[in-house]
């Protein structure tokens, strides 16, 4: 079990390059099922979830090799339609491969997905989408079996703008017969990135990034080359690391417009931000104001920044509130933050955070990816030594986090 030791209260200074987005790379890798021949993906982060997706592609007969930030894919053989249980239970995003396999092979048999422990996270919206395209869906023995010789374009209206369901249906409908219209689609930047890759490969997708997406089916997709967009959640977490340690850091290689809700929330707390085309410099105001936030689908405040923002607000002047509307069980970090001296109370989906002057180092446990990032920030700001256990959760989503923070002056050591 890996853990990390942090000695807090070291102001962070300097510049850091942000890696490619895991949440964009995963569906784009799943899309490789649809693309015939050779493809090259660039700016792919080296993370355990990416390795899991590579293994998943290989398990269905697609060659995929990562070297640094580049993944080369060769999809020339007949693909299999059965996904191994062991891979799917590791990561919820593995379900994103269902749509592409269904569209390409006319059938997919996939175990019910696993993933982070942040709620039940069902896949009913994906399944209703496949059914709207004419697929027959059966659930048996822990497997979902979806069949349809040739998907037919149709109207898919989501009851909630699920990111994964939008990606799955968008991918599946690229090879459907006729036109598919997805309404109440998710609008996240990762959806726009996936559509850009698919369109390079010959798909006809319009409207990605808006609530209505139209996909005109084509007979096949060819190989393509694509560079993954920067990770907006890593960028936001790094900005908070600079602010919470009373430092001054610049995050480079990012798209500031992808984190506009976070930037406006930070500006409201008094953070000084110098926003340029592809970088942001953040200067800590010394002391900062409280805030009231609600997590919402993009372009609202992202749930994936909720935990990290809570750590920052735990040290604000005054009382803040955060309402979590996306996941029903995403406050597991509050208990651990309280052990470090934070004053946080939760009432169902609302957290009430009374700012304190100082956090103190403690032994804590990361329960999921972003909860772990929140503890990491707390450790950087706290007085004394913090040990975070189970950092494998954090390493699923942050590439070389220890190295990057060390280069900014943090006192951190990874222990195994």
Chain residues that interact with ligand UD1, rule: CB under 6 A: 23, 26, 92-93, 119, 121-126, 160, 162-165, 190, 303-304, 326-327
Measure the CA–CA gap between 237 and 269, rounded to whole angstroms. Answer: 16
Contact 414, 248 (CB under 8 A): no
Q: Considering beta carbons, is residue 12 or 26 the nearer one to ligand UD1?
A: 26
208 secondary structure, DSSP code? B
Shortest separation between residue 367's beta carbon and ligand UD1, angstroms = 15
Nearer to ligand UD1, 188 or 336 (CB): 188
CB closest to ligand UD1, residue no: 164
Closest CA to 393 of 409, 375, 405: 375
**Least separation, in Å, of the C-beta of 159 and ligand UD1?**
8
386-408 b/e (C-beta count within 10 Å ≥ 16 → b): bbbbbbebbbbbbbebbebbeeb
Closest distance between ligand UD1 and the C-beta of residue 274, in Å? 28
In the 8-state DSSP scheme, what is residue 230? B
Q: CA–CA separation, 58 vs 65, rounded Å?
A: 9
Beta carbon nearer to ligand UD1, 186 or 337: 186
How many other C-beta atoms are found inside a 10 Å radius of the C-beta of residue 196?
20
State which residue, 305 or 377, has the beta carbon closest to ligand UD1: 305
Q: Which residues contact 405 (CB under 8 A, 6 or more apart)?
A: 12, 241, 376, 380, 412
121 vs 339 by CB, closer to ligand UD1:
121
Q: Smallest gap, in angstroms, from Cβ of residue 325 to ligand UD1? A: 9
* Least gap, CB of 357 to ligand UD1 (angstroms): 32
Length of the chain: 416
Closer residue to ligand UD1 (CB): 263 or 381:
263
Rounded least distance, CB 306 to ligand UD1, Å: 9
- Record the tokens describing residue 208, joined without a space: 């990605």
In the complex with ligand UD1, the residue whose CB is nearer, 153 or 164, is: 164
Q: Give whichever of 230 and 355 is closer to ligand UD1, judged by the CB atom.
A: 230
Contact 132, 102 (CB under 8 A): no
**Helix, strand, coil percent values for the chain (each to nearest 5):** 35, 30, 35
Instruction: Report how far apart, in Å, the C-alpha atoms of 366 and of each of 113, 234, 332 are.
Output: 21, 17, 9
Annotated catalytic sites, by residue? 116
SS3 334: helix
Minimum CB separation of residue 304 from ligand UD1 in Å reads 5
Q: Which of 177, 211, 178, 213 is nearest to 198 (CA)?
A: 213
Task: Determine how β-strand 35-42 pairs with β-strand 70-75.
Answer: antiparallel
SS3 for 77-122, per residue?
A: CCCCCECCHHHHCCCHHHHHHHHHHHHHHCEEEEECCCCCCCCCCC
H helical segments located in 158-259: 163-173, 189-200, 232-244
CB of 183 to ligand UD1, least distance (A): 16
Question: Residue 382: left if φ>0, alpha if ψ -120 to 50, beta else—which one?
Answer: beta
């Amino acid at each position: 079990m890996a853990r990390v030791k942090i000695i807090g209260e070291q102001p962070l200074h300097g510049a850091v390059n942000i890696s490619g987005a895991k949440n964009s790379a995963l569906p784009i890798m799943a899309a490789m099922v649809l693309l015939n021949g050779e493809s090259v993906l660039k700016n792919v982060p080296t993370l355990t979830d990416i390795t899991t997706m590579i293994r998943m592609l290989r398990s269905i007969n697609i060659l995929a090799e990562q070297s640094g930030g580049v993944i080369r894919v060769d999809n020339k053989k007949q693909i299999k339609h059965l996904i191994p249980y062991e891979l799917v239970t590791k990561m919820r995003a593995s379900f994103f491969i269902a749509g592409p396999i269904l569209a390409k092979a006319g059938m997919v048999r996939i175990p019910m997905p696993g993933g982070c422990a942040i709620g039940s996270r069902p896949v009913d919206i994906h399944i209703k989408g496949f059914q709207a395209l004419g697929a027959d869906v059966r659930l048996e023995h822990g497997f979902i079996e979806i069949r349809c010789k040739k998907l037919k374009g149709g109207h898919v209206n989501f009851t909630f703008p699920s990111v994964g369901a939008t990606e799955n249906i968008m991918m599946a409908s690229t090879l459907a017969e006729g036109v598919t219209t997805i309404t109440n689609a998710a609008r996240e930047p990762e959806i726009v990135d996936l559509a850009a890759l698919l369109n390079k490969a010959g798909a006809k997708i319009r409207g990605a990034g808006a609530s209505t997406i139209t996909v005109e089916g084509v007979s096949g997709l060819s190989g393509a080359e694509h560079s993954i967009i920067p990770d907006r959640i890593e960028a936001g977490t790094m900005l908070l690391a600079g602010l919470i340690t009373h430092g001054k850091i610049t995050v480079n290689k990012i798209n500031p417009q992808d984190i506009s809700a976070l930037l406006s929330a930070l500006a409201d707390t008094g953070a000084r931000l110098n926003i340029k085309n592809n970088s942001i410099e953040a200067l800590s105001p010394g002391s900062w104001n409280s805030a009231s936030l609600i997590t919402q689908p993009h372009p609202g405040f992202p749930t994936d920044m909720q935990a990290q923002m809570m750590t920052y607000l735990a040290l604000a002047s005054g009382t803040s509130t955060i309402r979590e509307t996306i996941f029903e069980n995403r406050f597991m970090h509050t208990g651990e933050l309280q052990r470090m001296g934070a004053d946080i109370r939760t009432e169902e989906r609302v957290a009430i955070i009374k700012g304190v002057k100082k956090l103190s180092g403690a032994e804590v446990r990361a329960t999921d990816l972003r909860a772990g990032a929140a503890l990491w920030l707390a450790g950087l700001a706290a007085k004394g030594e913090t040990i975070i256990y189970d950092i494998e959760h954090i390493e699923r989503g942050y590439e070389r986090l220890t190295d990057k923070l060390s280069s900014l002056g943090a006192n951190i050591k990874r222990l195994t």
